[in-house]
Structures are given as C-alpha cells and as structure tokens.
Amino acid sequence: MNITLEQAEKIIIAAKEKSVAIDTKMNIAVVDAGANLVAFARMDGAWLGSLDISIKKAKTARYFDMNTGVIGELSQPGGSLYNIEHSNNGLITFPGGVPVKDAEGNVIGAVGVSGSTVENDHTVAEAGANAI
C-alpha cells in the first residue's frame, strides 16, 4: 500500500495546524512507501535550510520504519547503527521523522518536519502522522 495524495495533504494540514498551535514555522515533507516525495509545504518564514532536512527526515523514517529520534539513539558511538547517517546519500538521525501507517498498521509512507527544536519537530511530525 502507498500513501495517497489526499492522505498526504491531510498530514500537511494537521502538521501545519500543530505548528501554528505551538508557534513555530515548519517545513513539512510527506513521502510514500518508496520514499518518494508526495507532498511538501514550507510555511511562510520557515528556515530555508530546513527544507532539505525535512525531506531527509521523512525518507530516513521510511527507509527504516522507525522514528528518526530512535535511529539517532542507535547511531551514537558504540551503537549498533553508528555512522548510519552516512548511508543512502545522507540520513537525518535526530527527531522529526515519523512513519505513517494505515488502519491495519502497514507503513505506507512517512512525514518529516524541520524548522524548530527537535522536540517541536517531532511533535509536529507526530501530529501529522496521526491524522491518518
């Protein structure tokens, strides 16, 4: 199964609403099951440098079907995934990427968010992922 454009747009809307609620300006990327970009939004005033980061967070979450913050914990020196961020043309291994699942629990894509603290990025990404 793959995320649809309609679902991706719902994720963007929910993530933008959460961003406004916590007073942040975010870049929000949604990828499908193949890690291909389906939808993207850059809120007015969001950091330009976070555009690429949001897309890489979404791809990273999909490549490994786990939150990017979890991958970050595993990729610390001595960890089982140490240096993984250098694979796949660069991964982002800090919070803000969340897999998106369908009603049956199958991963159908992922959302990546960047533009604030990693805690806020994760909160907004999670709000987007939960919109499905």
In this predicted model, what pLDDT tens digit does every residue of 23-32 receive, in sequence order? 999 999 999 9
What is the number of domains present in the chain? Answer: 1
| 110 bridge partner residues | 31, 99
Q: Give the pair of three-digit tokens for residue 32.
A: 């499908």
Q: Angle at CA 124, nearest 5°, toward 53 and 96? A: 35
- DSSP count for the chain of H helices, then E strands: 4, 4
pTM over 0.85: yes
Compute the chain's Rg from CA coordinates. Answer: 13
Enclosing domain of residue 70: 5-129
Q: What is the CATH number of the domain that holds 32?
A: 3.30.450.150
Lowest-confidence pick of 11-15, 40-44, 73-77, 113-117: 73-77
Handedness of CA 20, 24, 26, 30 (dihedral sign): negative
Which pairing describes strands 97-101 and 37-42: parallel, antiparallel, or unpaired?
unpaired
3-state secondary structure of 22: coil
**What does the mean pLDDT of the chain come to?**
96
